[in-house]
Amino acid sequence: MNEAIEEIYNEFAWFQNLTLGVLSYSLALTCLGTNQPGVNATISLLFLIGLYDASVRYYLTIYAPQILKRRYPSLTFTKIPRPPRLPEIKNTMLYFTGSLFLCAIVFMEVYLVLKGSRVPCEFENWASCYLHGS
């Protein structure tokens, strides 16, 4: 049964790399081409965190018990435990580095605002500042 759970962990890592990893790099590169890369990277990062949370819940509470139920019909499964963090990060390097790329864009924007190289948008005209730049 441990082999089956390990296969599910590997399948989940594959899913994270191919979908969330490629999506995180695409979103990060897209954010760099906008007028407000920090704001867009923050929104993209929140979107990725939501997708990750939804996919973890789906894989561990719905998908994995169904697969294990097919392999071991006499046992009942409601949920499998989360994989350990360090092996999960090692198995999902594309997703992990893409998320770090988005974090770097957010922190670079904060750094430039604090340094004074970039002026933050005023609240009154945030829409035109967001669309046309500061």
Q: What is the pLDDT of residues 87-115, one digit of tens each?
A: 778 888 898 999 999 999 999 988 888 88
Q: How many domains does one find in the chain?
A: 1
Instruction: Tell whether the model's pLDDT for residue 6 goes beyond 90.
Output: no
**Amino acid, res. 53:** D
Give the side-chain half-sphere CA count within 13 A for 68. Answer: 22
134: confidence class by pLDDT, cuts 50, 70, 90:
low
Containing structural domain, residue 121: 2-132
Instruction: Tell whether the model's pLDDT for residue 126 goes beyond 80.
Output: no
Q: What is the pLDDT of residues 62-84, one digit of tens each?
A: 888 888 888 888 877 777 888 77
Hey, what are 17's tokens?
A: 């790399």
Q: What is the pLDDT of residues 15-63, one digit of tens each?
A: 888 999 999 999 999 999 888 888 899 999 999 999 988 988 888 888 8
